[in-house]
Amino acid sequence: SLQTEATGNRLKSGDLVRVRLIIDAKRDLSYVLVEDRFAAGCEITERGSADETENWSFWWSAIDVRDDRVAFFIRNLPKGHHVIEYNLRAQTPGVYRALPASLQGMYATDIRAETAGDTVTVER
User: What's the pTM value of the predicted model, to 2 decimals?
Assistant: 0.84
CA 99 to chain centre: 11
Ranges of residues in the chain with a pLDDT under 70 are: 1-3, 46-58
Provide the pLDDT for residue 49. 39
Q: 113, 102 in Cβ contact below 8 A?
A: yes
Alpha-carbon span 123 to 121, nearest angstrom = 6
36 contact partners, CB below 8 Å, separation of at least 6:
19, 21, 69, 70, 71, 86, 101
Mean of pLDDT over the chain:
87
Provide the pLDDT for residue 4. 73
CA 103 to chain centre: 11
What is the DSSP code string of 30-52? EEEEEEEE--TTEEE-GGG-SST
Alpha-carbon span 41 to 43, nearest angstrom = 7
